[in-house]
Chain A
Amino acid sequence: MASLAPTFGRGAMTNHWVDIKNANVIVVMGGNAAEAHPCGFKWVTEAKAHNKATFIVIDPRFTRSAAMADLYAPIRTGTDIAFLGGVINYLLSHDKIQHEYVKTYTNAALIVNEGYHFEDGLFSGYDEAGRKYDRSTWTCEMGPDGYAKTDETLQHPRCVLNLMKQHYARYTPEAVSNITGTSKEQFLKICEILATTSVPNRTTTFMYALGWTQHSVGSQMIRTAACVQLLLGNIGMPGGGINALRGHSNIQGLTDLGLLSNLLTGYLTLPGEKETDYHAYIDKRTMKPLRPNQFNYWSNYPKFHVSLMKSWWGDKATKENNWCYDYLPKLDVEYDILRQFELMHQGKMNGYFCQGFNPLAALPNKKKLTDGLSKLKFLVVIDPLATDTSCFWENHGEYNDVDPSKIMTEVIRLPSSCFAELDGSLTNSGRWLQWHWAGQEPPGDAKNDNEIMAGIFITLRELYRKEGGAFPDPILNLTWPYKIPHAPSPEELAMEYNGKALEDLADPKDPTKVILKKGLQLDGYGQLKDDGSTACGCWLFSGSYTEKGNMMARRDNSDPSGLGNTLNWAFSWPANRRIMYNRASCDPSGKPWDPNRRLIWWDGEKWTGADVPDFKPDSPPSEGMNPFIMHPEGVARLFALDKMVEGPFPEHYEPFETPIGTNPLHPKVVSNPAARVFKGDMEQFGKASAFPYAGTTYRLTEHFHYWTKHTELSSILQPQQFVEIGEELAKEKGIKAGDMVKVSSNRGHIKAKAVVTKRIKPLQADGKTIHHVGVPIHWGFKGIAKPGYLANTLTPVVGDANSQTPEFKSFLVNIEKV
């Protein structure tokens, strides 16, 4: 999300699962789709079987995905930007880019501010003391007409394309091989295959997951791949895209509905503490077009925002009180999960709610987490399972060696139903909201999460009503229109997210006509108003539950185009579009780049085709509107402007715990200079002298996170914790397959069985031999599988600089036979 939105405009998988079958080249990198997404992986086998696709896997380990690949290349963990930066250099220096696409649909021609520069690993504006950048020079030069300046000839030395060439010239095949450990021959072979898709009728698709997000430079890894795809002209195309494969079945829905600390629904943002003025808040987010004739969809921000406020506070939200703007919390800092546990650890947090979340297992540095949880006054856990977190105070011998008599935290466990025990929608990786129905009743006293939250809310509201409080209004005035107040139904919530008309809505083209009567469900977010006449709980979901019924429950899989765009199956945000930015699947004149994969086209009067056009439906090609409509400049960003915290071009930085101890590109700036590190955590980073091996954690196909250690069948398939090492390291350490080993980092240790394999080979990087130690995560001290250690005992507390996703994929360990 933190990389795709700054690059393309929206933070989600650009294409969808079924569309992978249309690819010519498939790259799995920063992910392991065969193991982590076995059902979705079928579309890779379809592409191979029916489209003669070439399948490439790049991973530190030869995974079950690699077992299916035509070509596998090993890579040192944490060096993906070096690899992909090398690909950018290859494409630019071998002239293997899709010129017309790059010139017209990306910001290649934009002229960058004179003050921008990059030197010795740092971009302009670095503040070393604050570990952050002043990003004011990472902007474009503005012309006298108020629009950004461009050079369509691409000759200007400060146009984005030339700066990009200059930036990545350092990423030679030799430099790439030296950093990544991938052989030069394998690297070049992959470059050649990718380059074959720079023509208009061939595409590459990238499939990634936590193997990219869980790094201190994770967002920039994804952005580097996004830039490769833009240079190849593969965004918006069937069989193209940057495809974020989600781990939890509804994690896309989580961000869509604003469950991150800085978000409102639909990627609207919470105000900062200085943003006390409503109009300034709205003005800042209502984008002004940066180039002439662009759609600039975020110019509609006020409509989305006001409709959300009307959905939450109904009649209480009025123009006079700025639609209850004062009710919104104003952030001093972002309260991401790492900060939450830092505050807990400092004793600055009293109570904590875990709903469907097992942080003791899922967050880094178990010791710090346990210390933090022990300082709470109360901990509420809403979960179907007796999670490790809910039992953090129990002594389980070596696996959880705590002293319960010293822990005063009161733990309240509220048993909830699991996903199969309630109706509702799940939003998959491909942005499809798919309705599902309960398979059975929840057991015992377990209640649906809706009921649990409603019960807590009603009790709290009653307390505020009786006792008052500092600011009871937002709670007392919240709309609560549900038939059964203590049990809002999934349908009621879904209808609320879709939104409805609060007044008769007039046709904008003919104000005498009413297009929607008061009280009816909206057809889509195109009908939203900023005058308080519409309410909508999540503008992106508008269209999912209309007067025609529950669009998410549709199950018609007819596919007239043969491209897998089943428009009547469920509902895909935004506006039921299946492939985002699909205007870019056509040339500037409105004809599909590939006559064999016709997704949408201009028919002389309107945009039409096999998908919902991601475009102004009646804007003719001659108007020059560009495909990336969420951006005020209408184009995708090779240069991210000021949207990323560590730089407008992705740059290779080493993991915070690096086995080579330096950065061969710029030894003075080794790791991400803009990543936030809390004081105590910095001191807990280990060094290669004591912990010489590159540790990396991951999932196995047999298990799902920390849930399935509670289920019998999954536990039969992988009963006991293990770690994986290569044969060479095993020989050096005298370890045989099946031996018990101890893996330690600077933060703690785990013990597990050793799997010794040919599939992890030592790599040569910066003149050193690098061994990887693979640590699957699925075990813990609760459940019916053999008890094990929580793998995150080992991992360091530092997150991606933009999203704060922890660096689980690259850290340092030692290993010895027990």
Chain B
Amino acid sequence: MALQSLDVIRRSATTTASPHQRETAEVAKLIDVSKCIGCKACQVACMEWNDVRDEIGTNVGVYDNPPDLSGASWTVMRYSEVETDRGLEWLIRKDGCMHCADPGCLKACPAPGAIIQYGNGIVDFHQENCIGCGYCITGCPFNIPRISKKDSKVYKCTLCSDRVAVGLEPACIKSCPTGALVFGTKEDMKHHAEGRIKDLNERGFKNAGLYDPPGVNGTHVMYVLQHADKPEIYHGLARNPSISAWVSIWKGATKPIASWLLGIAALAGFVHYITVGPNEVEKEEKE
């Protein structure tokens, strides 16, 4: 959420041009699933750095806890017990925003400046501009953003844009005890992944590979997978993620119409406010 306006290259629902006086290298987080011990230190680091706390929930019959992403859990471990040709494997995948090069959320978002993309590849939500419509959720090919019950705004991993902007690694990277999480330029991360894939190949994982899906022009969070030929066994990781056709239509021919309708709605709201006054929230709803 750092306001590095010089580095903003795209903004949701905005037609004015973005600055490009300065160029920054693309960054990436590399998640090596084969080195992840599922300790959840990254979940703790994420909550601590961003100073948010999920609720103390219940056990739902699995190790995954909190059981899903939420307004306060921007990353969670997904544990999958899978029988492969090697026998039983317990695949543990850190789930969270993939920071797509072509972000479906940003394209789907109707609120000006609520979602932005930086030159380094980070896709960030500016909650002060968020109208809570949830279109970004529909637009996301990875099912990541979550609406908070507290404030009806949408939240997700920021890739610690505030830390990265001042030359630090994201909080999750700093907390990872085994080096399963690494961070750097996207080129360096691809290179690092090559070494890991070679090691996995030598250990008999013939289909080990890098997950950097082309359907969204690549991502700034990438995975090293032991079985890159079957991403879906990692708790349903999308095989060929792409932006839904509806978002493309929304962004294409229908956009001017939609914007116009939105304007009408806003005007109607304004008129309602002026003439009738603000909507009173019922007590029950507050509860």
Contacts and interface: CB of A to CB of B under 8 A. Distances in A.
Interface of A: 34-35, 38-39, 41-42, 45, 48-49, 52, 62, 64-68, 70, 72, 701-702, 712-713, 715-722, 736-739, 753-759, 784-786
Interface stretch (B7-15, B81-89, B111-119, B210-218): B81-89
Interface stretch (B43-51, B121-129, B154-162): B43-51
A702 B65 CA distance: 10
A53 to B, nearest CB: 11
B56 interface: yes
A717 B62 CA distance: 12
B246 interface: no
25 contacts: A34-B39, A38-B41, A42-B179, A45-B179, A49-B199, A52-B202, A64-B39, A64-B90, A66-B90, A67-B91, A68-B34, A701-B38, A702-B65, A713-B44, A713-B53, A715-B56, A716-B47, A718-B59, A718-B65, A719-B56, A719-B58, A737-B62, A738-B59, A753-B59, A753-B60
Nearest to B35: A45
A38 B88 CA distance: 22
A785 B89 contact: no
B92 A739 contact: no
Contact of B59 (A64, A720, A736, A758): A720
B203 interface: yes
Nearest to B87: A72
A41 B39 CA distance: 11
B178 interface: yes
Contacts of B252: none
A242 B19 CA distance: 61
A753 B57 CA distance: 13
A35 B37 contact: yes
A733 B210 CA distance: 42
B247 to A, nearest CB: 33
Contacts of B236: none
Given A52-B199, A67-B89, A738-B61, 4 more contacts: A42-B179, A67-B90, A715-B56, A738-B60
A49 B195 CA distance: 9
Nearest to A737: B61
Contacts of A715: 56
B66 interface: yes
Contact of B178 (A41, A739, A786): A41
A34 B41 CA distance: 12
Contact of A716 (B60, B66, B87, B199): B66
A35 B81 contact: no
Contact of A759 (B41, B90, B199): B90
B81 A759 contact: yes
A756 B61 contact: yes
Contacts, number: 115
A799 to B, nearest CB: 31
B61 A716 contact: no
Contacts of A754: 61
A716 B37 contact: no
A407 B57 CA distance: 34
Nearest to B76: A717
A41 B63 CA distance: 20
B interface secondary structure, majority: loop
B40 interface: yes
Contacts of A39: 177
B39 A716 contact: no
A757 B81 contact: yes
A173 B90 CA distance: 28
B239 to A, nearest CB: 23
Contacts of A702: 39-40, 65
A537 to B, nearest CB: 35
Interface residues of B, number: 40
Interface in B93-111: none
Contacts of B37: 34-35, 38, 41, 64-65, 67-68, 701
B54 interface: yes
A347 B83 CA distance: 55
B284 interface: no
Contacts of A737: 60-62
A530 B81 CA distance: 62
A713 B48 CA distance: 9
A717 B178 contact: no
B61 to A, nearest CB: 3
B58 A64 contact: no
B92 A67 contact: yes
Contacts of A701: 37-40
B285 interface: no
Contact of B56 (A64, A721, A722, A784): A784
B55 interface: yes
A64 B41 CA distance: 14
A472 B225 CA distance: 69
B40 A717 contact: yes
Contacts of B87: 72
Contacts of A716: 47, 53-57, 65-66
Nearest to A756: B61
Contacts of B83: 758
B38 A67 contact: yes
Given A62-B90, A64-B90, A68-B37, A713 B61 contact: no
B178 to A, nearest CB: 5
Contacts of B60: 737-738, 753
A717 B43 contact: yes
Interface in B251-285: none
B155 to A, nearest CB: 16
A719 B178 CA distance: 25
B48 to A, nearest CB: 7
Contacts of B40: 701-702, 717
A38 B180 CA distance: 12
Contacts of B180: 45
B61 A62 contact: no
A599 to B, nearest CB: 26
A253 B248 CA distance: 64
B58 to A, nearest CB: 5
B63 A755 contact: yes
Contacts of A712: 53, 56
A564 to B, nearest CB: 16
A717 B44 contact: yes
Contacts of A739: 61
A26 to B, nearest CB: 14
Interface in B16-42: 34-35, 37-41
B88 A759 contact: yes
Nearest to A701: B39
Contacts of B89: 67
Nearest to B44: A713
Contact of B88 (A713, A719, A721, A758): A758
Contacts of B56: 712, 715-716, 719, 784-786
Nearest to A63: B90
